[in-house]
Amino acid sequence: MAGTGERSSIQSVADAAGVSPTTVSHALSGKRAVSPRTRERIFAAIEAQNYRPNMVAKGLRSRRTQSVALLLVDIANPYYPAVARAIHDVLAAEGYVSFIGNTDGDADTERKLLEEMVARGVDGVVMQPVALSAAEVREIAGPETALVITTTEAGEMPADAVLTDDVRGLTEAVTHLADQGVHELGFIGGFPGASAGPLRVDTFEAAIGGASVPEGWIEHATFTREGGEAAAARLLALPHRPRAILCANDLIAIGAVEATRAAGLRVPEDVAIVGFDDIDTASLVSPALTTVVNPAAAVGDACARTILWRVEHGPGAPYRKTVLPTHLVVRQSA
């Protein structure tokens, strides 16, 4: 028997279990049926002999590495860890490992991380491209790498896509404000360097149904509290300021609340603030944020299951698009 920490061979595992090495391989890969009793003997032998499959060699033989890269915009933003956890839970149950990269919405970083993950032979990539277009991401990933794009970019994706119905949630926010007699709406979009322009600005324009917005009432910021505070301060310094500020995410909205207080104004009496995402902090700040619920766990779950489907069906199958609903949750800030 192999000593602790040693790697036994697949042949010795097969001998101990009384089966062929091929049967051991089938039990490990799950690609061929192996009886429950035989599987039990095999895994008992694996544990007893401290056998660890050579995943590199296995990947060369099967052309799969059982690995997926998650390229996230900002892992410090509470929304993205919730997405990543849901992806991990689904993939881990299927024997996959997940690698996380942080892009900061920077074009060079997006490109470098994507190229590196593809070069390492990951089976798939889940990515929200910001600076790169979806077409550029597809070109870098190549046709063989399973690719799921989660983005607010409009139009058809050259890849499988998991999207959220952002217009629905912001439309509910606009309707809620209108019901309170609030029609003077400003907006703070995210990531001014995004390939399609600041994130969720198109969504805001769709939600207000083509109504005109005074000059200067659409700002942009990084997806951070500091970015939101600076952008909101610019809106509030205008001679004619908006009565409500809708924000591309909750961190921006929290910064907008701080800027409103710093200007000597009250939330929501003087300026209503609406966030987007419904991160845990949204219900804990004061006043608690009225925000659009962006279902992070459902997004992650759908991304992982789409990756698994694509790996199984190969690049020839038609692209799949999943669109998840959003909705407004009303609290105290609007």
Is 104 among the domain residues? yes
CATH code assigned at 34: 1.10.260.40
Is 228 among the domain residues? yes
Looking at the structure, do residues 253 and 231 belong to the same domain, yes or no?
Answer: yes
Is 73 among the domain residues? yes
185 contacts: CB under 8 Å, gap ≥ 6: 174, 177, 208, 213, 217, 242, 243, 244, 245, 246
Looking at the structure, do residues 203 and 125 belong to the same domain, yes or no?
Answer: no
CATH code assigned at 233: 3.40.50.2300
pLDDT at 50: 74
Question: Which three-class secondary structure state does DSSP give residue 166?
Answer: helix
Range of the domain at 22: 10-53
Whether residue 194 has pLDDT greater than 80: no
Cα separation of the two ends of the chain:
68
Looking at the structure, do residues 125 and 46 belong to the same domain, yes or no?
Answer: no
Is 59 among the domain residues? no
Q: Looking at the 3D structure of the chain, how many domains does it have?
A: 3
> Residue 100: in which H helix or E strand, if any?
strand 97-102
Region 148-163: what's the mean pLDDT? 81
Q: Which residue has the higher pLDDT, 212 or 238?
A: 238
Whether residue 192 has pLDDT greater than 70: yes
Looking at the structure, do residues 288 and 176 belong to the same domain, yes or no?
Answer: yes
Looking at the structure, do residues 19 and 115 belong to the same domain, yes or no?
Answer: no
Burial label, 30 (beta-carbon count in 10 A; 0-12, 13-18, 19+): exposed
Region 234-262: what's the mean pLDDT? 96
Q: Which amino acid belongs to residue 162?
A: V
Looking at the structure, do residues 305 and 279 belong to the same domain, yes or no?
Answer: no
Exposure string of 231-256, with b = 16+ CB inside 10 Å and e = fewer, is: bbbebbeeeebbbbbbbbbbbbbbbb
117-131: pLDDT as tens digits: 988 889 999 999 988
Looking at the structure, do residues 32 and 92 belong to the same domain, yes or no?
Answer: no
DSSP codes, 287-330: SPPEEEE--HHHHHHHHHHHHHHHHHH-TTSPP-EEEE--EEE-
pLDDT at 6: 40
Pairwise CA distance, residues 332 & 334, whole Å: 6
Q: What is the mean pLDDT of the chain?
A: 88
Looking at the structure, do residues 225 and 83 belong to the same domain, yes or no?
Answer: no
Is 286 among the domain residues? yes
Looking at the structure, do residues 70 and 139 belong to the same domain, yes or no?
Answer: yes
pLDDT at 242: 97
pLDDT at 52: 64
Q: Which residue has the higher pLDDT, 32 or 206?
A: 206
Is 200 among the domain residues? yes
Looking at the structure, do residues 19 and 77 belong to the same domain, yes or no?
Answer: no
Instruction: Provide the pLDDT confidence category of residue 197 given band limits of 50, 70 and 90.
Output: low
Q: Which amino acid belongs to residue 189?
A: G
pLDDT at 78: 93
32-83: pLDDT as tens digits: 677 888 888 888 888 787 776 655 444 444 457 889 999 999 999 999 999 9
% residues pLDDT > 70 (the chain): 89
Which range among 9-23, 39-53, 203-217, 269-283 shows the weakest confidence by mean pLDDT? 39-53
Is 58 among the domain residues? no
pLDDT at 272: 98
Pairwise CA distance, residues 238 & 236, whole Å: 5
Region 292-301: what's the mean pLDDT? 96
Is 110 among the domain residues? yes
Whether residue 113 has pLDDT greater than 80: yes
Looking at the structure, do residues 249 and 301 belong to the same domain, yes or no?
Answer: no
pLDDT at 54: 55
Whether residue 3 has pLDDT greater than 80: no
Instruction: Provide the pLDDT confidence category of residue 155 given band limits of 50, 70 and 90.
Output: low
Whether pTM > 0.75 for this model: the answer is yes
Q: Which residue has the higher pLDDT, 151 or 255?
A: 255
Looking at the structure, do residues 202 and 317 belong to the same domain, yes or no?
Answer: no
